[in-house]
Each structure stands twice: as structure tokens, then as C-alpha cells.
Structure 1
Amino acid sequence: MELTLNEYGYITNYLVSGRKETPYSSPVTGKDQLACEKIMRKEAVDHSPIMPEGEIRLGVQSSLSMPWEYYYTYGNWFVDKSLFYPLLKKIELHGAVILHVEEELESEAWLWSYGAVDVWVNGEHSGGIETPVYKPINRAVLKFHLKKGDNLVFVRLQNLGVRDTRTLFAIQIPGEERRQIKVKLPGMDTAEEAVAAGQWLSGIRVTKGVLKFPKKAPENTIIVYDKRPVDFSLYGSRYVKKNISGQEEEILDAHNLYFTVKVSICGQTLSRRFERQELLGPVWSNETDPERNKERVYERIASVLQIPRGDGDNFSMYPVLARRYTGAIHEIDEKEIYKSLDQMESRRDCSDFLSCAMVRFMKLYPMDEALSARCKEVMLNYRYWMDETGNDGMCFWSENHSLMFFVSAYIAGECYPEDVFSRSGKTGREMKEKARTRIHDWLKETLSEGFDEFHSGGYTPITFAALLNVVDFGDEELSGLAVKTTDRLLHDLSLQTFQGVSIAPMGRVYREALYPYAQDIQSLVNLIDPEAPDWFSEWIIFLATSKYKIKEELKALMKEPLSLTYDESNASICIEKNDHYMMTSVQSPREGMKRKWENIYGRDGVDAGSFAYVKSLNECFHGTTEFQPGVFGYQQHMWYAALNPAAVIFVNHPGGSCEASSVRPGYWFGNGIMPAIRQVKNVLCSIYRIPESHPIPFTHLYWPKSRFIRQMMKEGWLAGEAGTGYVGIWCSHELKPYQDELTDCEYRADSRDTAYICICESQEKYGSLEAFLSDCITKNPSYDKGTGTLRCGNEILKFEACENKTQYV
């Protein structure tokens, strides 16, 4: 069996051992958690010039005391074992491959990783990456001295597991010598079956509801449908499995969106995920009365026993609050409250979500003596900010997290005014006073400057919940500011609503960007307008017992045609919206305007407890609020063009090479490198120039074919029709269809230097898709790579690369 490097020179076949996870603790502490984590990342790893010993063969135990396995992930150029860690861990991973050459060869090799990595070739240390980072990805340039014949390449990766941790590496041969290199695996005779199974999985295609196999399915092949219930208590029946061994095709269940094909072979299981996006559409509640709709929403939250947190954990305080409100108290509620207190006590990441719910529970509902004592014990010992003693992996600094910590400290301090909080050494009264200052600054700056995590499909409802705690339990001034800030949040959301769905560029985004109507933020849209599509979100239960009132005029604002530009934080957002289409984007760069606030992180003499410092720290970690071309991106969503809530398109530069990638920025959300973008009404121009310092050399277009009535491609343009509008997109490079987890949704432009033009128009203006496409072609767009200049009609956009050192963490 002959294996090769892929078209970009990446090695894509390895044996791996690990990910080995060991609980980690450190004495490092301080007011700056990012600095602490930087130190811990360095302390958690140990380099050695000596290659780990042991036989490398499928199924044999490595020096990590874990078996060697064949690594397979469809379309991945990386060995990627990334995971989210709510508690600190030390991570170790080994990889091995054989490079075969017919003659002695010296080759440059690029090593990509976020972790600390050592590489050996034939037992000789060939270099690596010294220190792990959070972002951006590191590239080390190595020299491989390859002897004639087989050469063993061994990789040892180490990292600190803290929240979203990228445990991955890749080796790329960038030069022409890659054509002389063949790939083998150690103990190839034992691995051939696994390799063949991976190749079979890669050959699967979905066509009109039928799973087509390249040849008969191997023995021990199953299809696993995933129902993904909202309630974690139903996870026992989450999966439906069917044996498909020996089949050449499988007619898919018409009601299951998500499924995985798994092959058990050579003592391990290889798998490939699929998703039928055409089956996930907007859902309406059929309730039109706002008050009845609210009660329906609250009762639905109450009906859920536990909210999933990943595949193996759950939170439950928000459903408990819903059941207290509706009176449908469940027999498990007391146990779930105690469990929530235990989760807080562990100080796992996102435990502030629980503390924010717990303080609301404390203010609203009576507790018996035992629960009251346990609650007090946990609250007095909780860590409410980075300047308090302790060491953990909690994220304090994001826009939603920071307010949740502040308001939790404020209310807990009020509940226990004379008691001493062990981690701060302050009395409750002092805790409340300090938290009040931080809440005040958060509200004042956000109200005047806008939201850093603007329009976030996942985080906006969390921020909404935190704000309601201030509305209801803050003093008169804080409550008033919180009302105004919540009004602004919902007002700006209304601006970005199209045909009842939030369509918006976002300061922080996840993969749900593919389905705007299936983001948590849609629950807020539905509260404003019950006739809008519905979506489940536990966060809005705070509204049930809040004095805050949603303004009635927002419903009408959502439906108004708009042509405007406005600011959120340091971003400038454009909207062109009417009955037929919506185009919206952030401008990159935002021309003619200075930053609203300066990033002070790392400067001497600054107050590490100030909200200005918190905002700065968050911008470093979760991505800049100032959109500039050429800057390393994170989770920012740059633009949408929509003809209806499902027929949406956008382009991004992915952070990974495939859907299964676990990195942030992801395959469909965020951008590895930010583009230049300018929108003028219904025309959007963008340029993506990807430097060699980023491993992914292509951009791609999300174009869900099933959502369009018709589509046409001609002279570099792709045009589609849906609803009562048209959308067309031009690319300076050939767009090639690509199939991954989604089918018929993606076009790739295999170039590091690519320009795009997107245009929306109404059907009433053109009358036919052919006429619209013909007019697009007459605009005669052109892109000059030499100068980085894009021209389309009267519009000109020039790419001028920027650098932002705050994005190196």
C-alpha cells in the first residue's frame, strides 16, 4: 500500500498514542490570569533530546502506557486531539510515521502546533517548538536529513489543558522535494486494514438522501444517528445504531440531521461525521400573543431536567429556576442544586454561569437550614476574580463572564455582609462595594461604546441574563444603567433581524453561524416577536421573574428597511436590508475613525482591576474588536448575504483544514487571517491574503445549494435565487465544489491571495436570474495581485496588511 503527502505537502497518515491527560496544579497565581497561564504552559512541559523508547506498532503500548492507533479524521492535515478542559490538565501526545526516499535527501520541514513539540528523525533530535501558546499557531522550520530507504519520524507533543486547548500538530514539506517522498507507517503490515478503512470512509458520498459507498462496507461497520436532545437526562437514548456491514449504499433516515459512520477494525474505531443541513430549517411556535408566548417558553425550560455541557456533563440551575417559577418542582431539583454548588466549588470553567443563577435563586426563593448552610459555605469560598487567591482555569475576562462574576460578587456580598470571603479576605460589604464599581464601569462603557461581543449568536443571551440580575438586584443607579444597556442590546439586535431571524456580523461566533435561526440569540428575537422563528435557550428564564420589560416598538423596528452604518465597540457595521435581501458586514479596516478605546494590556502602571484592563485582556484572548486586514483572527464573523433566513452565504478563511477541526477559529466560524472588507449598500468587496505563517492556504464559500430555487455559474460568477431576491458572488480564483461534513454547501478557492465580490438584488428589479447574472458580469470585476487591488464598477478596495501584537497570547 503506497501513501503520499497531500497536494500541499502535509503528512496525513500517522500512528498516534494519547492524548494522555494528567491532573495539573501549580503554585502560580496573580492578578493577570493570562500571564499566569502563560507561565503554567511553560512549566507544564519538559523537553528531552532523547526520543521516547518502545516498539511502535498498532495496538502496542507506548511509553505513555497507551496503545498506538491509526489516526484518521476526514480531510484533516493535522493530528488533532483537541478538547475543552474545565479543570487543569497536563496533555501528552505521541505520533510516528515513516518517510521513504529512493535516494538520500535533505528537506525543509514545517512543523505546525500550538503545543510544545519535539521531533526526531531516525532517533536524532531535529528540533521542535519550545513553548506552548494559546494563539496564533506556531511554525518551526526544521531540516530533515533523510537517508536512502525508510526514515522514522517521531513526534512528542505536550501542552497545558485549560479550557479550549489545541492539542494538535502537522508536518508539511513545502518544497518540490515532497514529490520524492513516500509515506509508510511503522508496522505497516498490521496497519494496512486500518488505512484501507480510512480510505473507504473518505470515499463515502451523500446523494439525494442516500449514503453511497465506494465499495461494500467493511465488516463491523455501523451508522449511528445522533438525536442531540436538549435535555441531558435523555442522553441515554441519544444514539440509534444500525449495522450496515457489506452494504453498497444506505437510505438515510429522513428525520435525523446528524449521523456518523463507524468502522471497528484493528482494535480501534474509525469514524466520519455527516450533517444534513437541508433538514434543519426555521421552526415556528404558532403562538402570536407575547405574554402567552413567554409562558410557553418558560414552561419549556422547566420541562428540561439538565442542560448538556458537552457530551458528558451538564448544568441544571436554569431549569431549576424555571420550575420554581412555574411551580412544577421536580423530585431531582434539590439534588441538582447541591450538584450545582459542588460544580461551583470545583471552580471549573463556566461555573460563573452557575453562580449567576445561584445568587438569583438565593434572592428569590427560601432555603432550608442545610441548603442555606451549604450555599453560604460555597459562596464564601468561591473565587470571584483573578486578584483573589487560588489557581484554576476559569475564564474571567470575556464580556459575558466578567459581568457574571461582578454581579455574583455583588449579590453574594449583599447576602453575607459581615462574613469574610476567604479568597479575597474581604467582608461581604467590601465585596459588594468593589463589585459595584466594576459593574458600574462595565455598564457605563458598554452603554456608551457598544458591545465587544456584538450580536454573538451564543453569548448575547448570556449577557442578557447577567444584565437582568443587575436590573433586579442592583441599587437604583446600577439598575437604571442596566435597563438602558439591555435596551441597547435588544435595539441593536432588532436592527440586525431579517425576516424574523438575527442575521449579523458577530464579535464572537461558533459553527451555528451556518444556521442563523438555530443560534441561542434567536430566543430573544422570538420574545420580541412571537411570530418569528423559535429556538430553545435556558438563559432567558431570568426574564420570568424580572422587572425588565421588552419595548413593544422593537417588533416594528425588526421589519423596517434599513440602509445604515453604525458602531459597536471598535467595529463599524453596515446594513442593507429590505423585503428581498439583507447584506451586512463589518468594515475592515474602519476608515477615517480612531479606536473608541485603547488596549492597555501589558502596559506599566495600569490598574489590573479596572474594567479598561479587563476589556483589553479580553480583546487579546478572544480576538480584536478592531477589524484590520492581515491580522490574525479568532471568532469574528465578518459578513452575511441573505435572501431568507436559510439562504445565507458568506466567505471565511478557516482555522483548520476540515469540518472535524477543533480549533478556534474553526472551519466555518471566525477567520485565521482577517480580510479587507468594504460594503457599499448592496455590493460587498473583500480580499483575503494569507501569509505563509498560517497553515491553511485556501478560503471557502458557504453556499447551501439546497436553499436556492435555482443557481447558475458563468464567467467567474455564481448566482442564486431564493425568496424574492438574487445573490451573486465573483471570485478571482476558480471556485471548486468540496464535500465534507456538509454536502453541496461549499466552494473552495485554493489560493493564498483571493478577492471576492458579492451583490444582492431584488427579483422585481431584474425579473430573472439570467438577467441578474448578466448585469453582474457587466461590472467586469478585476483583481491585481501585484498591488492587492480589487475593482468592480466604481468600487475599489486595496489590501494593506496590518499587524496587531495583542493577538499573540
Structure 2
Amino acid sequence: MTFTNGFIHHYYIAGPVFTDFIADKTDKNQIRYEQYLRSIVADRDQPAPAGKIIIGELSELGLPWEYYYPSSGFVNVSQFSYTPQKVELLAATCLVAQEDIEVQAIVWTYTALDVWLDGEKICSVHEPVYKPIKKQPITLNLTKGQNTLLIRMQNLAVRDTRNIFGIQLLEHLEKIESAHPDAGNAQPFLDLENWLAGIELKGNKLYLPQHAPCRVYLSYDDDTAGSAGIEISSENIVDINERATLAVIHGEIQHRTMSRKIELLAHKKPTYRKLPSLEATQRDMFDELAELGTDSPFRPLRFGLFYVLARWNSGNRSEHDEAHIIRAIEQIERREDCSDFHLAGLLRLMRFHSLPEDISARARQAILNYRYWMTEKGSDGMCFWSENHALMFYICAYMAGEMYPEKHFPRSDRTGLEVNRVARHRIRQWLADVEEYGFEEFLSADYMCVTLGALLNVVDFAEEESSRASGLIDLMLKSFACHAFRGSIVAPQARIYRSVILPFTQSAQALIHLLNNDTPVGNSEWIVFLMKSRYQLPYHYASLMEEPMKMEYPTGNAYVKLTKHRHYMLTSVQSPRYDERPSFWENNSFVESVDIESNDYIKSFNERFHGTSRFEPGVYGYQQHMWYAALDNDTVVFTNHPGEMSDDGGMRPGYWYGNGVMPAIKQQDNRLGVIYEIGEEHPIAFTHLFFPSAKFHAVAHVGNWLFGQKDGGYVAIWCSDALLPHHDRLIDCEYRAYGRRMAYLCECASREEFATLDPFIAYCQQLQPAFDSYQLRLYTADGYSLTAKKCDNITQYI
């Protein structure tokens, strides 16, 4: 078995195992508190994992050893944890050496980690980190034949948790092979893994390798648990269901299922449902939400209480409504991360409707005992400091204090009246900041729906601040409308998830559809807050959605550019800012005398953790989406430096969303340049281009150029390195450029300038783009130039 870029790919794992983990010590600084938890979570000086390493046999953790699949070179069992937990995992692999040899290697990890080579400990990383990843050089003294590596991983699970490690060999790869501790039992799994990797998708047909190693089945839309699917063991070509959006090919070895997921991106198309009026559209969207959670038997839903709110606002009830409310109260009682969302819904529900007496009493106790800020008594894993969470906690405290003015709130030792007064001051600070600087989570088509919900509670229940909150909702919706193309939001975004690859699937599509029902259908649980609200939707913004425009503006510390033509859109956030008089707000989180209760401090605190809007080349990124070119609402291209090695990892930054390392970016009208410099301290030495071939009407790959045409629009992408196709969960959508220094150039045009694709190709080629990798300078024959200056502090504020 070979290595990819030196990384070991084949592991057995046992775990992960999760146990609750809360320390008695508390801290008014949540990040510092979590750093403390990380410093004590790992048990040190433990021995190597005991017992035989055999697939199916129990490990010392009480869970069986499993063949780890799929492997990208990292063991990645990341997950989201709503409350703090300790996570433990064991792993094992083997290296077979042709001779006695000393090998230099690197252990990359976010976790606490111990590594043993044939029983001798060779590496200990005592404390996990949230970011950046740790790089630990090690020496492997391999003997001729088989050498066993055992790994013990420990981590703090809190919110998005990076349970990730990898081992990279730096030399002598030609003299080493990767193997498994239990090679005989592993072979059937390896055979199935290789067979699954050989599957190809062409159009609506799957092409399967010969001689399936076991009985193999095809299911659709992740329905592997519901049925075995259609057996395809003896097939070579299989027609795909044209309505399916995900094909899951799975086989079973020794009662263990291995599956490959192939996303059918060509089948994912926007849905249009034009109703007679915008009022009818709104009712239809509310009714759709009100139907959720009514099935029997009761099935917990993350936002079950929101759907109850939709029903009760419509004058309807369901048999499971009380169960949904009680579940939300339980999440509030446990102070799960994002429980402030449920609390905002509960408080809104209680303002408009009466609860049964027993549920009302329990809700009152949960509200009084809640921790409304990280400086209050208690410890948990809630995120208080992001832009959406901060306002959500402020308005929840305001409403709770107003609801129970004479009651004692034990975590702050304040009366409800005092809680309300403190919260009103914080709300005003938040509003004033966004009014002055713009949104930090700018254009985030997921997170700004949450901010919408918080602002609507301000509009409806904070009388003195109501009109200011309405004005900021207007600003949010106007920005979305300006960045709408063919009815969907195409925008650089401060925080984003994988929906970035198909803009019409983003949560804020619900807001676009509310304003203009000619656009693709969308829905979000957060629009429930519009029911019974005094806020009036600004329907006149719909005219901005298809209006060609050029604009540029600051928001937070970012500077956004937009060129919207009727046949294409190009938009980006500059890195660093190139405007003539860049004005930044100052990060005060390091100032000793700063008021840690102030919104200015919280905003700075958030920038340190998320790096939301101060963009500089070479800085470690998070969830920021830097640029887009679009020819349709489902046909977009962009580049990023992935934060992880594969599409199914689920980390932030992820494979397609965010950036492990931020690029330099400069847009001039319909042209954009991008430069990446990825330091040796980051394990992923490639960038990639999202280019969904099936979405275009015509494509061409000419040298270092890729061209696409759809309707009357054209897009061209040039890369300083060879663009190599790569197929993971998505097929014919990805091109990788390997290396640590590279540049891209994007050019957009329309048939009004070029009658067909061919003259556009000829025009782009005569631009003769070039990249000086030493000077980090990208330039063209007609005078475009971009030079990247790497930021001195790559972790920025950590």
C-alpha cells in the first residue's frame, strides 16, 4: 500500500468514547476556561493500548476494533458536542520496512496524543488545542519487516470538536509499505475499499469495477439504514434514478457496512413554486413549517419548539406539541450550546400563548436559572461571543427580566428588573456597533437567519430599540437582494457551511423567496419569528435582485466588491483591503483595563476566536468564503484552501467552505486574482477549484486554463500550477493544484462581448497571466497585478 504525500492511510480504530466532563473551576473568559479544560482532560503517562488488535475484538475502551474507512490520511472522527465531554479513541497501523531504517516523520494533531512504536513510546502531545493544528516531529526507528504503531487519542469535546490526527512520513517512502496489524482479517475490507474507489459516474450511469468482493447494494439519499437497497453485485453499468440527489453504494464484510457516497450534483436543481401573491407564498411557507413535528410517534427535532410556535400562531395544535416544548426546556436546563436559540423561541411562545401550568412552572425555573452571560456563575460549553449569539443572549436576558421583574436570577445575583436593565444597555451597544460598522458575519446566508430571529425579538419586545432593529433587518435584506443572482444569494460570506456549493440551498433563500416568489423555493425555521411580528418586509428590495450593478463597501473590517451583469456575477472580499482609506475597528481584547462586559470587547473576543472579518494573506482561516463567480444560481466556481483532506470530515474550516490559510485577493470589475502561500506549519499542501462541469453548457480545459459557458455567460480560471481533476464525494467538480505557493486568475464575460466561447478563450489566452512564486506576484499582459504580503502573525489574535 502506497502513501499520499507521505501520509499513512490505513488504520484500525476503537472508539470514540464520550463521557461528560465539567470541572469545578469556572472563568469569566469562556475561551480561557475551555483552554483550562483542555489542559486537564488528558490522562498522562498511560500505557500502550492493551490486548490483541483484531477486527471485531473488544478494545480496552469496551468497543471493538474497526477497519477505519474512508481514510484521507487523517483519522477524523470530528463531531459537534452541545455540552463539554471527554473523548477517547485508540488507533493502530503497521509499517513494513525492506530493511532497518531511520525515518523522519511528523505527527499532526489537534488532540492529546501518545504514539508507541513496537511498545516504545515515541511521541506525547499532552494538551489538545482548538487551533491551529500541532506539528510534532518524530523519528521512527523501523526494523526490517512489520512495525506496529499504536495511538491513544484524548480530547475535549465542546461545540465543533476536531478529533483529528495524522502521521506523515517525510522520507524513504520507496522502502516502506503500509499494512494492518491483523492483515488477514483486513484483506476483505481492503478489497471492498479499493473496489468502491474504482466506481465512476458518467452522466446518469454508474460504472462499476469487475468482480465485486462481496454483495453490493445501491441506495439513494443516504437510505442505508432503511433498507439494503438494490443489489448491483453482478452489474457493470447501473442507471441512476434521475430524481435522486445522493447515491450510496455499500457492501457488508463480517457484519460491518462500508459505503461510498456519491453526490449527484447534476440532479440538484432549484425548485420554483409561484403562488398567486406574496401573501400566499408567506402562508404556504409558514404552513410548511407548521407541519413539521406532527408525525406519530413523537420524533425529537432540533427546532421542534419553533414548529410548535408556527402551529400555535396559526391557531392549530398537535398531539406532540407539549413534548417538543419540554425537550426545548431540557436543552435550556442543560445549557447546551445553541440553547439560547431555543430560549428565544420559548420566550416568544410565552409572550403570545399560555403554557399548561406544569410546563409553565418548569419553563419559569429554567429561565430564572439560565446563564445569560459567560461572566455569570456556572460552567458549560455555550458560545456567547459570535455576532448572532451575543445579540441572542442580550435579547433573551431582556425578555426574561421583563417577564419576571421581581424574581431572583441566581447566576447573576440580579433581580429580573436589573437583568432587563443590563441587557437593554448591551442591546443598544450591539445595535450602535452594527449601525456604525456593518455586520461582522456579513452576508452569511446561514448565521444571519439567526441574527434575524434575535433582531425580530428586539423589534417586537424592546419598544425603545424597535425601530433601530427594524433598520438593521432592512440593511440585511437589502444586502442579500443586491447579492442575489438568478434569485439566489451569491456572496462572499464571513461564515458559511457546505451549502456554499449550491447557493439556492442556503438558509437565507427563505428570505429571498419571501421578498420575491419568482425565485427558488427556500425555507428556514427562523422565519417563524416573522409571524405576529410588527416588522414589515421591504418588498421593494426585490427589484435589486436582477438589477445589474457595480458596488463596493466596507462591513466590519472587511471590504466587499460586487460586479453583477445579467449573464454573470463576480464578487469577493478583499485580502488585504485595497480601498484608498481603509478604516478598521481596533481589537481591544488584549487591553488589561477593557470592560469585559462591553460589546466592543465581545466583538474583539469573537474576532480572536473566529477571525470573522479582518482578512490578511497567510492567516489561518475559519468559515470565511472569499469569492464567487456565477453564471447561474446553481452554477458557481471558486477556490479555497481546504481545512481538511476530504469532503466528509465536517470540520470548520471544511473541505469546500472556509480556508485553512487565507489567500490574497484583489478584484477589478470582472477580473479577480488570488494568491495562496501555505506555510510548512499547515499539513494540507494543495488548494482546489470548485468547477461543476455538469452544470455548464460547455467546458474546455486548455493548458492551465479552465473555461465554462452557460446561457450567455462565460467564466475562465487560470492557475499557475497544473489543475488536476480529483473525485471524492463529488465527481467532475474538483480540480486540485498541489504545492504551497500558487495563483489563480478568474475572468468573466458575456456573449455581448464574445459571440461564442472560442473568441473568449482566445482573449483570455492573450492575457498571458504569470506568477512569480518568489515575489508572490501575479500579473497579466494588460497590466493587472497582485502581490501578496504574508501577515507576520498567522494566527492573528490567538
User: Is the CA contact (8 Å cut-off) linking 1:218 and 1:246 kept in structure 2?
Assistant: no
| Partner of residue 782, structure 1 | 770
| Partner of residue 611, structure 1 | 599
How many Å separate the matches in 1 of 2:560 and 2:539? Answer: 25
User: Is the CA contact (8 Å cut-off) linking 1:702 and 1:745 kept in structure 2?
Assistant: yes
1:174-253 alignment, distance < 5 Å: 174-175=170-171, 177-226=172-221, 241-253=229-241
SS of residue matched to 1:576:
strand
How many Å separate the matches in 1 of 2:368 and 2:170? Answer: 56
How many Å separate the matches in 2 of 1:33 and 1:306? Answer: 38
Identical aligned residues as a percent: 40
1:799 aligns with 2:788: yes
Classify 1:593/1:138 alpha carbon distance in 2 versus 1 (closer, same or farther; 3 Å).
farther
1:238 positional shift: 6.9
1:563 positional shift: 1.1
Which blocks of at least 5 consecutive residues in structure 2 are unaligned?
none
| Partner of residue 60, structure 1 | 57
How many Å separate the matches in 2 of 1:353 and 1:133? Answer: 27
1:696 positional shift: 0.9
| Aligned counterpart for 1:532 among listed residues 504, 507, 519 | 519
How many Å separate the matches in 2 of 1:746 and 1:178? Answer: 27
Letter aligned with residue 186 of structure 1: P
1:417-471 deviations in Å (ceiling 9; x for gaps): 0000122111110111111111111111012111111111211111111100000
1:530-609 alignment, distance < 5 Å: 530-591=517-578, 592-609=580-597
1:518-529 alignment, distance < 5 Å: 518-529=505-516
1:227-248 deviations in Å (ceiling 9; x for gaps): 79xxxxxxx9977733333433
How many Å separate the matches in 1 of 2:38 and 2:257? Answer: 31
| Partner of residue 671, structure 2 | 683
1:392-418 deviations in Å (ceiling 9; x for gaps): 111111111111111111001100000
Letter aligned with residue 619 of structure 1: E
How many Å separate the matches in 1 of 2:668 and 2:508? Answer: 27
Letter aligned with residue 59 of structure 2: S
Letter aligned with residue 351 of structure 2: K
| Aligned counterpart for 1:464 among listed residues 438, 452, 473 | 452
How many Å separate the matches in 2 of 1:241 and 1:434? Answer: 57
1:761 aligns with 2:749: yes
Letter aligned with residue 390 of structure 1: G
User: Is the CA contact (8 Å cut-off) linking 1:457 and 1:512 kept in structure 2?
Assistant: no
Classify 1:128/1:178 alpha carbon distance in 2 versus 1 (closer, same or farther; 3 Å).
farther
Classify 1:80/1:675 alpha carbon distance in 2 versus 1 (closer, same or farther; 3 Å).
same
SS of residue matched to 1:764:
coil
How many Å separate the matches in 2 of 1:212 and 1:327? Answer: 53
User: Is the CA contact (8 Å cut-off) linking 2:303 and 2:525 kept in structure 1?
Assistant: no
| Partner of residue 23, structure 1 | 20
Letter aligned with residue 526 of structure 1: H
1:89-238 alignment, distance < 5 Å: 89-175=85-171, 177-226=172-221
SS of residue matched to 2:507:
coil
| Partner of residue 38, structure 2 | 41
User: Is the CA contact (8 Å cut-off) linking 2:441 and 2:612 kept in structure 1?
Assistant: no
1:372 positional shift: 2.1
How many Å separate the matches in 1 of 2:342 and 2:497? Answer: 22
1:50 aligns with 2:24: no
How many Å separate the matches in 2 of 1:711 and 1:37? Answer: 49
1:595 positional shift: 4.8
Deviates more, 1:94-103 or 1:580-589: 94-103
Letter aligned with residue 587 of structure 1: Q
1:664 positional shift: 1.2
1:70-93 deviations in Å (ceiling 9; x for gaps): 11116x111111111112211111
User: Is the CA contact (8 Å cut-off) linking 1:499 and 1:559 kept in structure 2?
Assistant: yes
1:348 aligns with 2:336: yes
How many Å separate the matches in 1 of 2:490 and 2:63? Answer: 46
User: Is the CA contact (8 Å cut-off) linking 2:217 and 2:250 kept in structure 1?
Assistant: yes
| Aligned counterpart for 1:633 among listed residues 603, 621, 633 | 621
1:195-218 deviations in Å (ceiling 9; x for gaps): 111111111111222222212333
Classify 1:281/1:367 alpha carbon distance in 2 versus 1 (closer, same or farther; 3 Å).
same
SS of residue matched to 1:457:
coil
| Partner of residue 327, structure 2 | 339
User: Is the CA contact (8 Å cut-off) linking 1:217 and 1:247 kept in structure 2?
Assistant: no
Q: TM-score, normalized by length of structure 2?
A: 0.97
Classify 1:227/1:79 alpha carbon distance in 2 versus 1 (closer, same or farther; 3 Å).
closer
1:241-640 alignment, distance < 5 Å: 241-287=229-275, 289-305=277-293, 314-476=302-464, 478-591=465-578, 592-640=580-628
How many Å separate the matches in 2 of 1:388 and 1:545? Answer: 33
User: Is the CA contact (8 Å cut-off) linking 2:49 and 2:90 kept in structure 1?
Assistant: no
SS of residue matched to 2:539:
coil
User: Is the CA contact (8 Å cut-off) linking 2:671 and 2:745 kept in structure 1?
Assistant: yes
How many Å separate the matches in 1 of 2:39 and 2:276? Answer: 56
User: Is the CA contact (8 Å cut-off) linking 1:217 and 1:244 kept in structure 2?
Assistant: no
Deviates more, 1:709-718 or 1:455-464: 709-718
SS of residue matched to 1:643:
strand
1:594 positional shift: 4.3
How many Å separate the matches in 1 of 2:75 and 2:231? Answer: 28
User: Is the CA contact (8 Å cut-off) linking 1:407 and 1:466 kept in structure 2?
Assistant: yes
Classify 1:241/1:578 alpha carbon distance in 2 versus 1 (closer, same or farther; 3 Å).
same
Letter aligned with residue 51 of structure 2: G
Deviates more, 1:779-788 or 1:266-275: 266-275
Classify 1:227/1:169 alpha carbon distance in 2 versus 1 (closer, same or farther; 3 Å).
closer
User: Is the CA contact (8 Å cut-off) linking 2:39 and 2:127 kept in structure 1?
Assistant: yes
User: Is the CA contact (8 Å cut-off) linking 1:222 and 1:263 kept in structure 2?
Assistant: yes
User: Is the CA contact (8 Å cut-off) linking 1:111 and 1:128 kept in structure 2?
Assistant: no
Q: How many residues align?
A: 793
User: Is the CA contact (8 Å cut-off) linking 2:217 and 2:228 kept in structure 1?
Assistant: no
| Partner of residue 70, structure 1 | 67
1:715 aligns with 2:699: no
Classify 1:807/1:164 alpha carbon distance in 2 versus 1 (closer, same or farther; 3 Å).
farther
1:804 positional shift: 3.8
Letter aligned with residue 376 of structure 1: R
Tell me how large the CA RMSD over aligned residues is.
1.8
User: Is the CA contact (8 Å cut-off) linking 2:708 and 2:715 kept in structure 1?
Assistant: yes
Classify 1:595/1:186 alpha carbon distance in 2 versus 1 (closer, same or farther; 3 Å).
farther
| Partner of residue 4, structure 1 | 2
| Partner of residue 770, structure 1 | 758
1:148-181 deviations in Å (ceiling 9; x for gaps): 2221111111101111111111000123x12211
1:310-357 deviations in Å (ceiling 9; x for gaps): x98532111111111212221211221122111211111111111011
1:693 aligns with 2:681: yes
User: Is the CA contact (8 Å cut-off) linking 2:115 and 2:152 kept in structure 1?
Assistant: yes
1:685-717 deviations in Å (ceiling 9; x for gaps): 111111111111111111111111111122321
SS of residue matched to 2:379:
coil
How many Å separate the matches in 2 of 1:783 and 1:488? Answer: 39
How many Å separate the matches in 2 of 1:400 and 1:631? Answer: 24
User: Is the CA contact (8 Å cut-off) linking 1:418 and 1:428 kept in structure 2?
Assistant: yes
